Amino acid sequence: MTTPSARLLIVGPQGSGKGTQGARIAAALGIPAISTGDMFRAAIAGKTPLGLQVQEVIDAGDLVPDELTSAVVRERLSETDAAGGFLLDGYPRNLGQVSDLDAFLTDRDEELTSVIELSVPRDESIARLTLRAQQQGRTDDTEEIIANRLRIYERETAPILDVYRERNIVDAIDGVGTLDDITSRVISALQARGLSADAVR
């Protein structure tokens, strides 16, 4: 019996732990975790043409234009390692990107398996972001820029969940607890969607 491919999104406000959980879940499923934020940061660090193009926008905590972001994601999803499934972290981030992703997947006769919504109270996400700022020194983790990113999340990203809720593919997960507890919650939700236990190691 073949295991259905896992095509997953992980969505949550900054500081919800979606990067950490996304990587753990993708590793458990043997699929690539694809983080647009990480891809942009790598491009900036490597001073590539893409990096130079997006640096200012990212430093301000604003969104990179959809056309550019969706092109980066399409290219990444076309690589062979994403053929059997993927986990997208940080994309789509607004309704325009939802349409771009739909168009791409429809062309390939694919659809999303689950949208993991990681919820944490605002105080907790701000505390985690402040800690990350101290530990990693990200240029977009200052207090003012964090506030801008959280505003954008509420205004532009949270509405994408309504679209996916209508499709009945959202798994809302409590993002407070130990790393292992949260990973187990997600994995149980994915098993309930038919991803078999041996795929979910």
Our CB check for ligand AMP shows the closer of 3 and 20 to be: 20
Query: Is residue 140 close enough to count as binding ligand AMP by CB under 6 A?
Result: yes
149 is catalytic: yes
41 is in an annotated binding site: yes
Q: Does 125 bind ligand AMP (CB under 6 A)?
A: no
Active-site choice (7, 76, 149, 185): 149
CB-CB contact of 73 with 36 (8 Å): yes
Name which of 97 and 183 has its Cβ closer to ligand AMP.
Answer: 97
Contacts of 51 (CB under 8 A, 6+ apart): 40, 42, 43, 44, 45
Rounded to 5 degrees, φ, ψ at 59 are -60, -30
63 contacts ligand AMP (rule: CB under 6 A) = yes
Is position 137 annotated in a ligand binding site?
Answer: no
Q: Which candidate in 7, 24, 76, 93 is catalytic? A: 93
Longest Cα separation, the chain = 52
SS3 assignment, position 33: strand
Cα-based angle 16, 17, 19 (whole degrees, multiple of 5)? 125
DSSP 128-191: HHHHHHHHH--TT-SHHHHHHHHHHIIIIIHHHHHHHHHTT-EEEEE--S-HHHHHHHHHHHHH
Choose, by CB under 6 A, the member of 44, 149, 153, 171 that binds ligand AMP: 149
Give the one residue of 7, 24, 76, 93 binding ligand AMP; rule: CB under 6 A. 93
The torsion region of residue 90 among left (phi > 0), alpha (psi -120 to 50) and beta comes to left
Q: Determine whether 138 is an active site residue.
A: yes
Among 57, 105, 133, 176, which residue interacts with ligand AMP (rule: CB under 6 A)?
57
Q: Does 164 bind ligand AMP (CB under 6 A)?
A: no
CA distance 189 to 183: 10
Closest distance to ligand AMP from the beta carbon of 1 (Å): 35
Which position among 5, 21, 69, 113 is part of the footprint of ligand AMP (CB under 6 A)? 69
| CB-based contact 62:152 (threshold 8 Å) | yes
Select the residue interacting with ligand AMP from 12, 37, 85, 175 (CB under 6 A): 37
Question: What residues act catalytically?
Answer: 18, 93, 132, 138, 149
Chain residues binding ligand AMP by CB under 6 A are 14, 36-37, 40, 57-58, 61-64, 69, 90-91, 93, 97, 140, 149
